[in-house]
Structure 1
């Protein structure tokens, strides 16, 4: 039996879904851990990025500093935290490692969204007498929304996929299914666990895409703008007429001379 067929057989066996070591319990642990890490990352990164983007100062330095975290492997951070005094603090080594991993995309995309917001619209709102908080909440954040949600989706998928490392530090989640498969030399279980993580990451991405479209504060205006651009392009496009060659003897104008010429 091949690994894919074995994984399918493992997934369709009801006993593998029940109990504390079953799929449903491990899935709940995985979702709790991933959700906690994502919420903490948003609470750390988004206020800093939005405020720096509103001020227009210090954002580039903050983004460059946060991007240093991308060069550090999450597994290495997890091992170091596990060997430290925090190693006896339950899932906190995993939480800290995943938060450090998720902050850079959140901070970078949120700051770029604020920085690249339409300055004419921002200045017009400021000229109307909006205060700083009003400008931030009613103009700048709605304009930065697409990049803001892109960062959240990227961070969420990365956290869901990387949370499997929690099993290596004694934590829960779907990674325990994979590590148990390795321990039992059960390739089918390893493949089944990997498929569960991949499907969960795709589902999270799909749900966040739907949420992005549903809660976009500028959705109606963006749709109206696209419709207006399409209508303008259609109006400017030349009419498609069949080509008819000029008949002999027809007088035409030479584009380089003001004198008419004959073609015969």
Structure 2
């Protein structure tokens, strides 16, 4: 099937637009996650969202909405336990990670019959993305762009130097909770892209690739958005042609891009060293 033939289908057009918007949101939040070393936190929130999905399936609610609420509460719970209750951060993450998965599995098994489209949420199927999903991703992307354009310094101060931030009268704890909320929202709204099982990769792999070329926060965001979108397009197209799950192939392509670029950079560095010697 030709690429331009695929473009004539509305579901594929939605998939491309959803990929772009998800790449923007994940590019911004993923960079924050990577530079703040919150990868394990994002993994905990991702798997905790399973609890919200299970509750949604059981009561017949919108599973994305219930997962969104559950994930935000889980993110707040992790932050509260680790910062206010003296619980180690990894222990707090592990607690909510396991709790969300347990609740999700319990409610899914209690639901008569098989949960519809469960594999799409676990492994991703961006071809099923709807116009409403695109609207939500567009709103999230715009909000994140505005927030980071206006308050990037304040966010960075609160993240890396909270004592200095407090001397500037910045609401450090409020900023942390807001960022945890954004992480949770971005994760849930991107579930259809690659699924719960692999979602942590789309928040880290493009950023790792971008970090090969620069350490500047803004440049990492821009490069990770570009790398993420290119990976989505290639993975989406190849998944349709080869008839494999789109989420799995998107992540596979992005990892291949990272390995290839890393290999090229290392070879270039070695050749320069040889010339210099």
Q: TM-score, normalised by structure 2?
A: 0.28
Structure number with the higher helix fraction is 2
Structure number with greater CO (CA < 8 Å, separation at least 6) is 2
Q: TM-score, normalised by structure 1?
A: 0.29
Higher-Rg member (1/2): 1
